[in-house]
């Protein structure tokens, strides 16, 4: 406690009974021996009665300072509490006495019997110094100082304010300090409050500024110690403030273009401070941010007597994650750590990006039957960020093939909207003569409508469906001598568009005559490969069985199966699956000798050979001649047919054949018995 010389200070002493029984205590107060306590007198009041267990009682102790005690001297006083018996003497069974020491310091107030003054803050006598800090947004600080007349007469007190520039205090030359009163008149023990107002200009450098106010009783002399002084201090804290300007507030940029701007900070605070820059409102994410700093994004913003600035360069490279024409506000922030200090916004007006993708409903179309067509669909998708018209093209197919698109251009919306895609139907036609082994590739492209390189291409493979069919032509039934081989040619035409194998199978052979099949090269086998739309002659070979009877025969059924044709239906109602044919042959044995003899008889000949087989005849124009022919059946069959073949004079003369005086058909057959003839 601080007590001015000539005054008393009062302490409150609290005694706690920590035992389990009521007790009486004796209190003693003793000043520390020595010169420090010269002029200090201490008295303490006793606590009447007993203190109940677990309770406490309090009393007072007064320390009085003589008038001549030196200011700022200190005396320690020790208070001892001793439990006493009912007789008033210390109880030998009680615990050791409890002690507590306090210090009393002489104040610098005056306390002569005639003159005296005391200065303190905020009506609190012990508050002889005060430190205040300039608050955020404030420009003035006020100190409230109480002036008390501690003398014995009415007094006039002079107040003097002085700057303090030592002990870490700075020169407050830029501050305006106003003392409300330089003199106050006070009655005995009267007080009056005066104020000191400190006005702090904007941007005042951060520092500690100090003053002292001294009160002196007018008319006193130094020997009477009729003065008192209080100290007060103002801390102007570090203010980290700034303002920001941008070199551009609007940037018109296409996706992928790079724009630049500069953010310039001005220090609106009162000291150098480290600033960190950041961006908010950037639509980009991860490594695809629109905005980046071209260089450091932090640094020291100098105070420079309130003129300090620092610039940061920014690069802006938008992508097309937003629609063309959109405006995006981006905020540039300056921070002190995590504390936001100043901001500015700029706007990016986004241009249009261009691109498209192409997808096919299927990458392979078909197989398509020759002469038929098949349709499919492709989808064009805008990968740009604005509405666009796109062109679709397809490569030219081979001769005979055709491809048609139902539209050659589409208008689609931004990739960010629901109308970004459009479908295009197309039809591919296959020529009638297309082979199953054929396939073509069609290249679809999506391009800018105004021309330029394709954004994307896709390849469609078109295949031809296999077709199968056959035509079969057979030869006539054959007759042959014993042990000879009869040849039955079978012409098979592959009507399909694919190379197929045809199997020849002897389904019935009534007399089991030896038989086999050969191709045109004489290769003997049962399966023969015929190219698409080609013809092959397969020969049924039958060896005539040796026997004694003429006209014996065997009936052979040949089943021909197209092994490449899986069609087992019977659409032609022939009793066979459509991939089969059945041909019936008869091989007849005949060892009979057949022969005819022919000679000239009478006639208008100019000359005839000795054996009557060669004659000479000369006719004029319009001339006519008749001559006889003798035809004789010289074979050993009972009868046979003669067939005439007349050659020569074609286109020059007419020829007629007569028998029994009547003209007959030259191409006819004439029955002649064995050993007989015909004129």
pLDDT digits (tens, 9 = 90+) for 286-300: 888 999 999 999 999
What count of Cα atoms within 13 Å lies in the side-chain half-sphere of residue 245?
A: 7
Tokens of residue 465, six digits: 């469906």
Residue 492 sits in which domain range?
470-589
**Domain end point (choices 71, 106, 141):** 106
Q: Whole-number mean pLDDT of the chain?
A: 89
Residue 512: give its domain's CATH number. Answer: 2.60.40.10
Q: Are residues 420 and 455 in the same domain?
A: yes
The partner residues of 474 in beta bridges, in order of sequence, read 490
C-beta of residue 203 within 8 angstroms of C-beta of residue 149: no
CA distance 321 to 286: 13
How many residues are recorded in the chain? Answer: 679
Mean pLDDT value across residues 487-507: 96
Question: Closest by alpha carbon to 517, among 542, 501, 539?
Answer: 539
Please report the pLDDT score of residue 304 as a whole number.
83
Mean pLDDT value across residues 397-421: 96
Tokens of residue 39, six digits: 């002029």
Per the structure, the count of domains in the chain is 6
CA distance 633 to 189: 186
Mean pLDDT value across residues 611-631: 78
Q: Please determine, for residue 138, whether its predicted confidence score (pLDDT) is greater than 60.
A: yes
The partner residues of 376 in beta bridges, in order of sequence, read 426
C-beta of residue 160 within 8 angstroms of C-beta of residue 177: no
Please report the pLDDT score of residue 472 as a whole number.
96
- Say what percent of the chain tops pLDDT 70: 95
Q: What is the pTM of this model?
A: 0.58
pLDDT tens readout for residues 307-350 = 899 999 999 999 999 999 999 999 999 999 999 999 999 999 99
Residue 626: inside a domain, yes or no?
A: yes
Element (H, E) at 474: strand 470-474
What phi-psi label fits residue 395: left (phi over 0), alpha (psi between -120 and 50 degrees) or beta? beta
Please report the pLDDT score of residue 442 as a whole number.
97
Q: Please determine, for residue 41, whether its predicted confidence score (pLDDT) is greater than 80.
A: yes
Tokens of residue 144, six digits: 């409230």
Residues 6+ apart with CB under 8 A from 393: 408, 444, 445, 447
Q: Are residues 15 and 69 in the same domain?
A: yes
Confidence of residue 677 (pLDDT cuts 50, 70, 90): low
What phi-psi label fits residue 72: left (phi over 0), alpha (psi between -120 and 50 degrees) or beta? left
Tokens of residue 282, six digits: 């950037």
CA distance 217 to 36: 28
CA distance 13 to 36: 23
Question: Closest by alpha carbon to 600, among 615, 579, 580, 583?
Answer: 615
Q: How far is CA 663 from CA 137, 559, 659, in A?
A: 146, 47, 7
Say how far residue 520 (Cα) sits from the centre of its chain: 68
CA distance 210 to 178: 14
Please report the pLDDT score of residue 222 as a whole number.
57
Q: Are residues 628 and 667 in the same domain?
A: yes
CA distance 132 to 592: 153
Pairing relationship of beta strands 409-412 and 388-394 according to DSSP bridges: antiparallel
Most confident of 130-139, 281-290, 537-546, 663-672: 537-546
CA distance 533 to 13: 131
Q: CA-based Rg of the chain, rounded to a whole angstrom?
A: 69
Q: Are residues 635 and 540 in the same domain?
A: no
Mean pLDDT value across residues 475-490: 93
Residue 377: give its domain's CATH number. Answer: 2.60.40.2310
Question: What is the separation, in whole angstroms, between the first and last Cα of the chain?
Answer: 181
Residue 67: inside a domain, yes or no?
A: yes
**Domain end point (choices 63, 80, 106):** 106
Please report the pLDDT score of residue 107 as a whole number.
78
Mark 441-450 as b/e (b = at least 16 C-beta within 10 Å).
ebebbbbbee
Q: Are residues 150 and 229 in the same domain?
A: yes
Please report the pLDDT score of residue 413 as a whole number.
96
Residue 371: inside a domain, yes or no?
A: yes
CA distance 385 to 319: 9
φ/ψ of residue 306, rounded to 5: 80, 5
CA distance 388 to 586: 78
Please report the pLDDT score of residue 170 as a whole number.
85
Question: Closest by alpha carbon to 309, among 267, 251, 354?
Answer: 267
Q: Are residues 322 and 383 in the same domain?
A: no
Mark 9-37 as b/e (b = at least 16 C-beta within 10 Å).
bebebebebeeeeebbbebebebeeeebb
Residues 6+ apart with CB under 8 A from 325: 349, 350, 352, 386
Question: Closest by alpha carbon to 151, among 227, 68, 49, 260?
Answer: 227
Please report the pLDDT score of residue 113 as a whole number.
46
**DSSP 8-class letter at 88:** S
Residue 111: inside a domain, yes or no?
A: no
Q: Are residues 251 and 342 in the same domain?
A: yes
Residue 247: inside a domain, yes or no?
A: yes
Please report the pLDDT score of residue 537 as a whole number.
97
Q: Are residues 668 and 607 in the same domain?
A: yes
Residue 112: inside a domain, yes or no?
A: no
Residue 55: inside a domain, yes or no?
A: yes
Q: Are residues 129 and 227 in the same domain?
A: yes
Instruction: Write down the residue that tokens 């086999």 correspond to.
Output: 516
Mean pLDDT value across residues 588-593: 87
Of 264-268, 362-366, 595-599, give the lowest mean pLDDT range. 595-599
Mean pLDDT value across residues 7-19: 88
Q: Please determine, for residue 144, whether its predicted confidence score (pLDDT) is greater than 50.
A: yes
SS3 335: strand
Please report the pLDDT score of residue 282 as a whole number.
92
Q: Are residues 285 and 187 in the same domain?
A: no
Q: Please determine, for residue 219, whether its predicted confidence score (pLDDT) is greater than 80.
A: no
- Say what percent of the chain tops pLDDT 90: 62
Residue 673: inside a domain, yes or no?
A: yes
Q: Are residues 583 and 600 in the same domain?
A: no
Say how far residue 649 (Cα) sits from the centre of its chain: 95
Please report the pLDDT score of residue 112 as a whole number.
47
Confidence of residue 607 (pLDDT cuts 50, 70, 90): low
Q: Are residues 72 and 135 in the same domain?
A: no
Q: Please determine, for residue 164, whether its predicted confidence score (pLDDT) is greater than 70.
A: yes
**Domain end point (choices 589, 622, 652):** 589
pLDDT tens readout for residues 458-476 = 999 999 999 999 999 998 9
**DSSP 8-class letter at 509:** E
Higher pLDDT, 539 or 597: 539
Residues 6+ apart with CB under 8 A from 28: 44, 79, 80, 82
């Amino acid at each position: 406690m601080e007590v001015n010389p000539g005054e008393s200070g009062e302490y409150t002493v609290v005694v706690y009974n920590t035992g389990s029984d009521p007790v009486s205590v004796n209190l003693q107060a003793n000043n520390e021996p020595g010169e420090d306590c010269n002029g200090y007198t201490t008295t303490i009041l006793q606590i009447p009665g007993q203190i109940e267990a677990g309770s406490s009682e309090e009393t007072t102790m007064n320390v009085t300072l003589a008038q001549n005690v030196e200011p700022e001297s200190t005396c320690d006083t020790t208070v001892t509490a001793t439990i006493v018996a009912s007789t008033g003497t210390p109880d030998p069974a009680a615990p050791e006495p409890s002690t507590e020491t306090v210090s009393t310091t002489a104040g610098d107030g005056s306390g002569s019997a005639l003159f005296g003054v005391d200065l303190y803050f905020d009506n609190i006598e012990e508050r002889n110094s005060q430190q205040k800090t300039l608050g955020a947004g404030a420009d003035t600080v006020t100190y409230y100082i109480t002036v008390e007349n501690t003398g014995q007469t009415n007094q006039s007190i002079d107040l003097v304010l002085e700057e303090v520039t030592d002990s870490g205090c700075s020169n407050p030359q830029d501050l305006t300090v106003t003392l409300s009163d330089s003199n106050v008149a006070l009655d005995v023990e009267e007080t009056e409050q005066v104020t000191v107002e400190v006005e702090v200009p904007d941007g005042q450098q951060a520092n500690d500024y100090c003053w002292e106010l001294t009160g002196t009783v007018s008319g006193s002399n130094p020997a009477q110690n009729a003065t008192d002084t209080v100290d007060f201090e103002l801390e102007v804290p570090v203010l980290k403030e700034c303002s920001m300007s941008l070199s551009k507030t609007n940037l018109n940029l296409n996706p992928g273009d790079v724009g630049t701007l500069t953010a310039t900070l001005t220090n609106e605070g009162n000291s150098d401070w480290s600033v960190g820059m950041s961006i908010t409102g950037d639509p980009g994410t991860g490594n695809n941010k629109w905005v980046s700093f071209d260089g450091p994004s932090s640094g020291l913003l100098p105070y420079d007597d309130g003129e300090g600035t620092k610039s940061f360069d920014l690069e802006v490279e938008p992508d097309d994650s937003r629609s063309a024409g959109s405006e995006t506000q981006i905020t540039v922030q300056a921070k002190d750590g995590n504390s936001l200090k100043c901001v500015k916004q700029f706007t990016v007006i986004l241009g249009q990006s261009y691109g498209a993708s192409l997808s096919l409903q299927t990458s392979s179309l078909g197989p398509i039957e020759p002469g038929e067509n098949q349709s499919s669909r492709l989808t064009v998708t805008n990968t740009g960020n604005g509405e666009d018209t796109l062109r679709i093209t397809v490569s030219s197919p081979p001769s005979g093939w055709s491809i048609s698109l139902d539209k050659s251009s589409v208008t689609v919306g931004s990739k960010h909207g629901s109308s970004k895609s459009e479908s295009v139907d197309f039809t591919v036609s296959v020529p009638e003569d297309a082979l199953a082994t054929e396939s073509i590739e069609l290249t679809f492209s999506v391009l800018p409508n105004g021309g330029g390189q394709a954004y994307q291409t896709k390849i469609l493979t078109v295949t031809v469906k296999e077709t199968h069919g056959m035509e079969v032509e057979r030869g006539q039934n054959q007759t042959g001598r014993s042990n000879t081989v009869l040849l039955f040619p079978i012409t098979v035409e592959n009507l399909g568009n694919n190379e197929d194998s045809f199997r020849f199978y002897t389904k019935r052979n009534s007399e089991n005559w030896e038989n086999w099949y050969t191709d045109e090269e004489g290769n003997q086998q049962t399966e023969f490969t015929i190219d698409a739309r080609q013809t092959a002659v397969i020969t049924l070979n039958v060896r005539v069985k040796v026997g004694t009877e003429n006209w014996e025969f065997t009936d052979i059924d040949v089943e021909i199966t197209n092994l490449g044709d899986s069609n087992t239906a019977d659409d032609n109602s022939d009793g066979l699956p459509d991939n089969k044919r059945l041909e019936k042959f008869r091989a007849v044995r005949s060892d009979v000798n057949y022969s005819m003899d022919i000679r000239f008889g009478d006639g208008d000949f100019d000359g005839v050979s000795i054996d009557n087989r060669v004659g000479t005849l000369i006719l004029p124009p319009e001339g006519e001649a008749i001559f006889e022919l003798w035809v004789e059946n010289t074979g050993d069959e009972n009868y046979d047919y003669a067939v005439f073949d007349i050659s020569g004079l074609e286109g020059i003369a007419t020829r007629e054949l007569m028998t029994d005086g009547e003209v007959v058909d030259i191409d006819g057959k004439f029955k002649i018995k064995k050993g007989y003839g015909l004129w």
